[in-house]
Amino acid sequence: MKYIISIIGKFKNNDENLITQKYLKRIKNIQLNQYEIKISNLDKRLEEEGSKLINSTPKNGKLILLDEQGENLSSTELAEIISKWKDNNISSINFAIGGAFGNGKLIKKSADKVVALGKLTWPHQMVKMMVAEQIYRIETILEGHPYHK
């Protein structure tokens, strides 16, 4: 299984990025895509951001959109979903993190799963770090590794 984290926003070399890199190194097959969109019209911006995130999902892949209005899942529940996708020969999963203005209608309709990280609002760099950790956690759950207690 190939994992992809696609994020809208400017790359920042900060402490959150160091932690993100720590988890990315632990994951066997992962790709990080980061896009900066500079369009002032909000509707066009959301459409372009959504298109970038959708297009970063391979044809035989699934798109999980992180959105505050998404479903709240436990790590185990998300691992079960991914396990079923693996069993159905899905080759990749793209975790998409939208921009500062949220997600547009296009990507919300296109996503295979819309997931929230609770009701709180998080900075994008922290969301990227938390997604990297969850991917690592999911892999350990699926492998029966004791990391997830």
Q: Kindly state the average pLDDT of the residues 58-68.
A: 96
Higher pLDDT, 136 or 14: 136
**Could you give the 3-state DSSP secondary structure of residue 31?**
strand
The domain locations on the chain are 2-143
Residue 12 has pLDDT above 80, yes or no: no
Fold of the domain spanning 2-143: Alpha/beta knot (3.40.1280)
pLDDT of residue 17: 86
Q: Kindly state the average pLDDT of the residues 27-39.
A: 94
pTM over 0.75: yes
pLDDT of residue 149: 64
Residue 125 has pLDDT above 90, yes or no: no
Q: Kindly state the average pLDDT of the residues 109-118.
A: 96
Percent of the chain residues topping a pLDDT of 70: 99
- Furthest-apart CA atoms within the chain: distance in Å: 48
pLDDT of residue 44: 96
Are the CB atoms for 100 and 7 separated by under 8 Å?
Answer: no
Q: Kindly state the average pLDDT of the residues 121-143.
A: 93
